[in-house]
Structures are given as C-alpha cells and as structure tokens.
C-alpha cells in the first residue's frame, strides 16, 4: 500500500513512494532555470539528474521529500521479489 502526504504549498496529496524514473518538480528552480528532476537511484540517499542541464545531485531521503513540490510523472513499478534474492527457495 502506498502512503501519501499532503503538500501544503500545493494543497495536493503526493505519494511517499519513490521510484527510479520518477520526474519531480522541486520547490526552488536549479540555477540553470529548470525545476524538473529525474530520479536515477533510490536508497538511503536519492540520486537525481536535472532535466535542464544534466547535473547530478544526491540528497538524503528526508531532504528530498522536503524539497519535492509535486510528482510530474511516476516511474515504472519495480518487482520487489526480483530485488531481494533471500526470498528464493533453497534447493
């Protein structure tokens, strides 16, 4: 189940789930003028690439959630079972 939080500035609900390939808008624009970023890595830190100039930055999850204004498009769902090899049966 996906949890949601209310973005007070926009007045909309945004999913807390972060996927690789998500395109998000940040509260402040990047110095290049773009405010759209594409998520390229998830974990304890979130790695994202600026859609305007291609600059790559890493933010901790808490900072990322604070700076994210809205979700423009969500990336494809991941198969959690395929990512966790410990769930496979032993022969």
Residue 74 near residue 22 (C-beta atoms within 8 A): yes
Q: What is the pLDDT of residues 20-62, one digit of tens each?
A: 999 999 999 999 999 999 999 998 899 999 999 999 999 998 8
Length of the chain: 91
Dihedral (Cα; 86, 4, 31, 22), 10-degree rounding: 50
Q: What is the pLDDT of residues 79-91, one digit of tens each?
A: 654 444 444 444 4
Residue 27 near residue 37 (C-beta atoms within 8 A): no
Residue 83: φ, ψ to 5°: -85, -15
Nearest to 72 by CA among 32, 31, 42, 34: 34
Residue ranges of alpha helices (H) inside 50-91 are: 61-67, 80-83
**Angle CA 46–23–62, to nearest 5:** 30
Q: Which residue has the higher pLDDT, 72 or 7?
A: 72
């Amino acid at each position: 189940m996906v949890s949601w939080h209310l973005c007070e500035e926009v007045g909309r609900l945004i999913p807390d789930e972060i996927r690789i390939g998500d395109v998000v808008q940040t509260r402040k624009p990047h110095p290049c003028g773009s405010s759209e970023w594409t998520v390229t890595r998830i974990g304890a830190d979130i790695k994202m690439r600026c859609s305007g100039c291609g600059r790559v930055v890493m933010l901790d999850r808490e900072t990322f959630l604070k700076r994210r204004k809205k979700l423009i498009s969500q990336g494809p769902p991941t198969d959690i079972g395929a990512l966790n090899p410990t769930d496979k049966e032993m022969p």
